Amino acid sequence: MTTATDSDLPEVAQSRQSGTQIIRRGLALSPAIKDGLAFTIVLAVLSTVGGSVVPVLIQRTVDAGLGDGGDTRLSDIGTFLAIASALILLTAVVAYWMRIRLFKASETGLAQMRVDAFRHVHDLSMLTQNSERRGVLVSRVTSDIDQVSQFLQFTGIQIVVSLGQIVVATIIMAYYSWQLTIVVIVCFLPLAISLKWFAQRLSDAYDIVRRTVGEMIAVIAEPVVGASVVRAYAIEGRTQQRVDDGIKGNLDANVSAQKLVAVTFASSGVAGGLANGAVLAFGVILGVAGDLSMGTVIAFAFLVGLFVGPVQTATQVLTDAQNAIASWRRVIDLLDTPADVVDPGAAGVLLPAGSLGARFDAVTFAYPGGAPVLKEVDVVLAPRQRIAVVGETGSGKTTFAKLLTRLMDPTSGTVRLGTDPHEAVDISTVAFVDLRRHVLMVPQEGFLFDATLRDNLLYGRHDATDQRLLDVVADLELDDWFASLPHGLDTQVGQRGESLSAGERQLVALLRSALADPDLIVLDEATSAVDPQTELRATRALDKLLQGRSSVTIAHRLSTAENADRILVFDAGRLVEDGSHAELVDAGGVYGRLHGSWVAQATLTSRAGEPA
Ligand SMILES: Nc1ncnc2c1ncn2[C@@H]1O[C@H](COP(=O)(O)OP(=O)(O)OP(=O)(O)O)[C@@H](O)[C@H]1O
């Protein structure tokens, strides 16, 4: 199959929703995050107030210690110290409680988002899945959501705590000395004004970081999956170059973002230092003038600490927030990408039981941005027929099969299914669960999961008993092969079935299809060369599988076409010939030529096998 360039294909949508919109949508998509949030915020504020009251107690202790005219009140000092200790302990307990609540709520909410995002990847059309590289999709479900989780559990509440701390510290500072309070505010004003500008720059920088993380995972994952091809073609160097480029892209993006972070952090450091110095200088002047007590000046120094801390971390908080929003946006964009093959769900119609036929009415299909690859196809497929689809490579056979199984929808025209093709229903109105029960597409290379043979077969029918599995093995006359397996149904097939031979993987795919027991089977005939014994087994098993069912096979072998009840011939996206093998050979058209080259190839192969 030829593929188009990535730019021609639909990708996951990219929104430009603002940060606030993203947070609002994110919270709406994970409602569990908001469960009990109000109480958690109350706890956060309480822990802040607890911490902020301590400087007041320090002022009281110092002033009681020095006393008016050197009169030290020891009992007051004891009381203030006891209250301060109790407050510090209480604050710690409240802060612990708040974090646990926050952790539970955010993890529950995000787990739901992870499940939704994963499901949605499966709902996306084959087109979107093909165009968006797998690694990028994986990163949206994993690392992007991790980023949001970190934000919610640490940074998000940090914002509440910091704001609370600034407000409380400002109130207490203003209560002690409005002049010093103004000094502190003036020192931080330039930073506060430029924060929005920094935030936008950081947001852009972190959008790039998150994108490069996805790209990096994609270029690393690809050669790991295709390791055998990389080795076979000795393209380790080129592959390494792509991986290096991916890693470098991410590194560069991170460095650019961190430079901005460093600027914001340094600026807040400068503002903090300035405020501390100014407070001490003005505090001493006011103290000497007799306007402030010693305890108040010391308390003020602590209060400035409470004020400076959050402002200094504010830039870090802002950075994390921008990073998390960039991640949240990527997950939301994924969830917002429409599934273009829409499941009618419960509103869908059910297909009648029995062998299914199909009808194509003026069906045209074009890949997005491309010319039609299937043009005005009109055809009626009767039930219980064995139909072979043939044509040159790229003629549209696979596209026809995908439309027949609704892996894609036609650009125009209608595909219908039914036991009577003349009264068939529009395939797009059939509920997915019902469609998948009746119609099965068997690709050339059925994907095997890294599990036992049993587990892999159960993908065909999840509730089948071992006895049923063995019956199907017998039905397809594969008992002798099955007996040769070291552990029967418990045999591990390895990653992607690599512990089995290519031929054995075909047998597993056929067994799985037989278990699914579809009424219409659409099959892309395997082309990989296998040993003669397995070939014989596969041919026999396939024959058994197709018996009594409607089948449409993309035929790559002479014998499959010859044995079909009917042959559909595609050429450059058009259905150009339709008839039995004998009729089409006599007609001497496209099929005649194709058949001629098959025969010539078969003769060559058999000669090559003859003993000299
Ligand atoms: N994902 C895709 N995006 C864009 N164009 C595609 C895509 N898949 C196939 N095509 C184009 O559609 C046309 C028909 O492809 P199709 O796979 O249906 O042909 P085919 O007859 O099955 O070929 P083959 O025998 O090689 O599998 C080809 O020109 C191909 O380039």
CA 127 to ligand 1 centroid distance, Å = 12
Residue with CA closest to ligand 1 atom 1: 3
Q: Quote the CA–CA distance of 340 and 120 in Å, as a whole number.
A: 11
Instruction: Quote the distance between the C-alpha of residue 40 and its chain's center.
Output: 30
The residue contributing the CA closest to ligand 1 atom 31 is 2
Task: Enumerate residues 6+ apart whose C-beta is below 8 A from 403.
Answer: 360, 363, 365, 374, 409, 410, 415
Question: Is residue 68 within 8 Å of 295, Cβ to Cβ?
Answer: no
The rounded distance, in Å, linking the Cα atoms of 45 and 42 is 5
Nearest protein Cα to ligand 1, atom 28: 394
Give, using CA atoms, the residue closest to atom 7 of ligand 1. 3
* Bigger pLDDT: 514 vs 304: 514
Q: What is the pLDDT of residue 493?
A: 76
Q: Determine the average pLDDT of the residues in 343-369.
A: 88
Chain length of the chain: 612
Residue from 459, 551, 589, 581 nearest 511 by CA: 459
Amino acid identity at 464: A
Closest atom of ligand 1 relative to the 4 alpha carbon? 4
Average pLDDT over every residue of 247-263? 90
Ligand 1 contacts (CB < 6 A) are 1-4, 130, 367, 370, 373, 391, 393-399
Nearest of 313, 14, 23 to residue 161 by alpha carbon: 313
Determine the pLDDT at residue 430. 93
Candidate of 363, 365, 399, 411 to mutate for ligand 1, largest count of ligand atoms within 8 Å of Cβ: 399
Residue of 67 and 300 predicted with greater confidence: 300
- 197 CB contacts (<8 Å, ≥6 apart)? none
Distance (Å, whole) CA 93 – CA 102: 14
Residue 370: how many other CB atoms lie within 10 Å = 12
The pLDDT of residue 67: 59
| Cα 299 to middle of ligand 1, angstroms | 76
Give the mean pLDDT of 52-60.
Answer: 78
pLDDT value for 20: 82
C-alpha 373 – ligand 1 centre gap (Å) = 7
> How many CB atoms within 10 Å of residue 538?
22
Residue 3 has pLDDT above 50, yes or no: no
pLDDT at 329: 86
- For atom 18 of ligand 1, which residue has the closest CA? 396
Distance 2 CA to ligand 1 centre (A): 5
Q: Note whether 348 and 431 are within 8 A (CB).
A: yes
256 CA → ligand 1 middle, Å: 41
Separation of CA 531 and ligand 1 centre (Å): 29
DSSP string, 240-266: HHHHHHHHHHHHHHHHHHHHHHHHHHH
DSSP, collapsed to helix, strand or coil, labels residue 363 as strand
How far does residue 395's CA lie from ligand 1's centre (Å)?
7
Q: What is the pLDDT of residue 255?
A: 94
Ligand 1 atom index nearest CA of 367: 4
pLDDT in tens, 529-577: 667 777 788 888 888 888 889 999 998 887 888 889 999 999 999 999 9
- Tell the residue nearest (CA) to atom 2 of ligand 1: 3
| Cα–ligand 1 centroid distance for 357 (angstroms) | 24
pLDDT of 612 strictly over 70: no
- Eight-state DSSP code of residue 153: I
Top-ranked range on mean pLDDT: pick from 151-160, 264-273, 430-439, 530-539? 430-439
At 91 the pLDDT is: 86
Whether 588 has a pLDDT exceeding 70, the answer reads yes
Return the closest-CA partner of residue 435 out of 342, 568, 339, 554: 342
Residue 5: pLDDT band by 50, 70, 90 thresholds? very low
Q: Residues 216-232: pLDDT tens digits?
A: 888 887 777 677 677 77
Q: Is the pLDDT of residue 13 over 70?
A: no
Measured by CA distance, the residue closest to atom 27 of ligand 1 is 1
| Mean pLDDT taken over the chain | 81
Cα of 5 vs centre of ligand 1, distance in Å, is: 12
Owner of token pair 């190839």: 601
Q: Determine the average pLDDT of the residues in 313-326.
A: 75
Domain residue ranges in the chain: 22-336, 357-444+522-607
Q: Quick: pLDDT tens for 374-394.
A: 999 999 999 999 999 999 888
Tally of CA atoms within 13 A in the half-sphere of 276 that contains its CB: 13
Euclidean distance between the first and the last CA atom of the chain, given in angstroms as a whole number: 37
Atom 30 (ligand 1): residue with closest C-alpha?
A: 2
Which residue carries 């941005």 as its tokens? 369
pLDDT-derived band of residue 7, with 50, 70 and 90 as boundaries?
Answer: very low
Q: Is 335 in contact with 498 (CB distance < 8 Å)?
A: no
Q: The tokens 């270029």 sit on which residue?
A: 219
Taking only the tens place, the pLDDT of each residue in 197-207 is 887 788 788 88
The pLDDT value given to residue 377 = 94
For the stretch 226-235, contacts whose Cβ atoms lie closer than 8 Å and that sit 24 or more positions apart, written own/partner, are none
Q: Average of pLDDT values for 190-214?
A: 82
Cα of 598 from ligand 1 centre, angstroms: 21
b/e code 225-248 from CB counts within 10 Å (16+ = b): eeeeebeeeeeeeebeeebeebee
Ligand 1 atom closest to residue 573's alpha carbon, by position in its atom list: 14
- In this prediction, residue 417 carries a pLDDT of 93
Tens-digit pLDDT profile for residues 441-485: 888 777 778 888 888 888 877 888 889 889 988 998 888 888 888
Ligand 1 centre to CA of 1 (Å) is: 5
Model confidence at 1, in pLDDT bands (50, 70, 90)? very low
Pocket test for ligand 1, best of 132, 341, 398, 569 (most atoms within 8 A of CB): 398
CATH of the domain spanning 357-444+522-607, picked from 1.20.120.1200, 3.40.50.300, 3.40.50.10860, 3.40.50.670: 3.40.50.300
Residue whose CA lies nearest to ligand 1 atom number 6: 3
Centre of ligand 1 from the C-alpha of residue 3, in Å: 6
How far away, in angstroms, is 573 Cα from ligand 1 center?
Answer: 9
Best substitution site from 1, 363, 527, 560 to test ligand 1's pocket, by max atoms within 8 Å of Cβ?
A: 1
Question: 276 near 21, Cβ under 8 Å?
Answer: no
Tell me what pLDDT residue 131 has: 52
The CATH architecture annotation of domain 22-336 reads Up-down Bundle (1.20)
pLDDT at 432: 85
- Contact 550/519 with Cβ under 8 angstroms? yes
Q: For residue 399, which atom of ligand 1 is closest to its CA?
A: 18
Question: Read out DSSP for 573-603?
Answer: TEEEEEE-HHHHHHHTSHHHHHHHHHHHHHH
Whether 396 has a pLDDT exceeding 90, the answer reads yes
Residue-wise pLDDT for 404-419, tens only, equals 999 889 999 999 999 8
Whose alpha carbon is nearest atom 20 of ligand 1? 394
Q: What is the model's pLDDT at position 114?
A: 82
